[in-house]
């Protein structure tokens, strides 16, 4: 029991740190000192000015650690539980190096600000350098977490949409329109990618027309995109003709894979590991019947290949696992497309990498289990590529099929 209380006290210390950090952005008495912390680093996390750095440690990091020590000690004293002192000891571990760094010593202990290129994608549960880089240089009023990402996930600051360039394929469909509207409301700069030349979008939306099979022509546009949402698809229902097979796989699987590799090829600079993301609508059909066999087969193939690609992806890849919503592809859907769009953004801002929105409770149980087992299987029986992955481009213009 005392060990459990100790773990709780450590989590309590981290919550104190995160609250102090948030206060440093909004509460004037300490805001000026927290600004020193932001001024102390260049974009590669090297120290911009040693004097500013030492002051930031003395007036920001040391008070923050003292707050952690004092409040965890107060709880331990008031409750007379010895296990709660673990949180206080944990906080002291941060206090002592902060004091020494303020004197120009033990600079190597500043692990979350270690200089150099970013060497991974933002971590999910623990704050790594890439995750924290976003707080300094992407959006300072988000990504507040110090060690565990829990507080950001709870308050919705694990992803900042404001000011991001977000491209949406299948933008003229019901969900596409919903995503365009919600992203615009969140302050994103939206690019609507559609095969429907007659589609109309709200003012301020950039419209980009394309043809299925001509994904490579989008490369120049994708260079400046922060988040690509691959949302186009087709549903042939009960048709099982060779043409239907081709249309289903070409639209739902291969076109998405080509766009995936095109977008991932644009992640060439260190900071793009932190700022770029790829969201792919794989559908609930990955684990549940959709009463449309070719839709299920093509979406399951896509889902499996996305799971495999995630193992080596240079940026975050999110899956959109969506239940039946009313759209051109599914006039019998029970959910509102605009509501589904809002739910997707709400969950993304809380850093869900598998965004499940459905009325079927089984999906919330089956999909994470399937994804975990399949990821472990792929990791065990495949190996990382030594060269950049390339997919062949479709040589001919594919027939336009039910643009979403």
User: Is residue 227 packed enough to be buried (19+ CB in 10 Å), middle (13-18) or exposed (0-12)?
Assistant: buried
| Alpha-carbon gap, residue 137 to 114, rounded angstroms | 15
C-alpha dihedral (165, 169, 174, 179), degrees to nearest 10: -20
**Neighbour tally for 298: CB within 10 Å:** 27
| Alpha-carbon gap, residue 169 to 207, rounded angstroms | 10
Q: What are phi and psi of 154, to 5 degrees?
A: -70, -45
Which whole-number Å values give the CA distances from 233 to 133, 253, 256, in the listed order? Answer: 35, 9, 9
Strands (E) in 199-301, as ranges, are: 206-209, 227-230, 277-281
328 CB contacts (<8 Å, ≥6 apart)?
Answer: 173, 174, 402, 404
Catalytic residue list contains 295: yes
| Alpha-carbon gap, residue 161 to 345, rounded angstroms | 9
| Alpha-carbon gap, residue 176 to 180, rounded angstroms | 6
| Alpha-carbon gap, residue 72 to 70, rounded angstroms | 6
| Alpha-carbon gap, residue 42 to 57, rounded angstroms | 16
Determine which one of 53, 59, 295, 364 is catalytic: 295
Residues 33-41: contacts with CB under 8 Å, at least 24 apart = 33/59, 33/60, 33/63, 34/60, 36/60, 37/61, 38/136, 38/140, 41/113, 41/136
Apex 262 CA angle, 304 and 378, nearest 5: 25
User: Is residue 192 packed enough to be buried (19+ CB in 10 Å), middle (13-18) or exposed (0-12)?
Assistant: buried
Check if the beta carbon of residue 322 is closer than 8 Å to that of residue 276. no
Sheet holding 316-322, edge to edge: 206-209, 189-194, 165-169, 227-230, 277-281, 316-322, 354-357
Apex 14 CA angle, 25 and 152, nearest 5: 55
Active site members: 295
């Amino acid at each position: 029991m005392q060990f459990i209380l100790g773990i709780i006290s450590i989590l309590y210390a981290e919550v104190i740190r995160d609250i102090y950090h948030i206060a440093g952005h909004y509460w004037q008495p300490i805001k000026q000192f927290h600004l020193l912390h932001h001024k102390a680093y260049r974009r590669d996390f090297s120290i911009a000015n040693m004097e500013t750095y030492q002051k930031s440690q003395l007036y920001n990091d040391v008070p923050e650690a003292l707050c952690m020590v004092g409040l965890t000690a107060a709880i331990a004293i008031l409750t007379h539980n010895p296990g709660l002192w673990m949180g206080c000891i944990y906080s002291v571990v941060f206090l002592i190096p902060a004091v020494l760094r303020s004197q120009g010593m033990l600079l190597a202990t500043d692990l979350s600000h270690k200089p150099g290129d970013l060497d991974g994608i933002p971590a999910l549960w623990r704050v790594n350098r890439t995750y924290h880089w976003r707080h300094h240089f992407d959006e300072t009023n988000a990504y507040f977490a110090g060690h565990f990402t829990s507080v950001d996930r709870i308050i919705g600051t694990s992803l900042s949409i404001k000011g991001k360039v977000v491209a949406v394929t299948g933008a003229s469909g019901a969900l596409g329109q919903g995503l365009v509207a919600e992203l615009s409301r969140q302050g994103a700069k939206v690019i609507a990618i559609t095969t429907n030349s007659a589609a109309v979008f709200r003012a301020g939306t950039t419209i980009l027309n394309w043809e299925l099979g001509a994904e490579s022509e989008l490369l120049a546009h994708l260079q400046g995109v922060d988040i690509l949402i691959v949302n186009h698809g087709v549903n042939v229902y009960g048709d099982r003709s060779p043409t239907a097979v081709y249309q289903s796989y070409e639209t739902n699987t291969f076109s998405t894979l080509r766009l995936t590799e095109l977008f991932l090829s644009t992640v060439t600079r260190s900071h793009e590991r932190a700022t770029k993301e790829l969201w792919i609508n794989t559908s609930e059909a990955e684990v549940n019947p959709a009463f449309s066999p070719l839709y299920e087969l093509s979406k399951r193939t896509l889902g499996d290949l996305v799971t495999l690609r995630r193992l080596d992806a240079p940026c975050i890849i999110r899956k959109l696992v969506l239940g039946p919503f009313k759209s051109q592809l599914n006039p019998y859907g029970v959910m509102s497309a605009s509501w589904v769009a809002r739910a997707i953004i709400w969950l993304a801002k809380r850093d869900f990498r598998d965004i499940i929105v459905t009325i079927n409770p089984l999906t919330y149980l089956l999909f994470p289990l399937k994804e975990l087992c399949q990821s472990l299987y792929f990791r065990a029986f495949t190996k990382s590529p030594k060269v950049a992955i390339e997919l062949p481009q479709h040589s001919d213009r594919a027939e336009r099929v039910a643009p979403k």
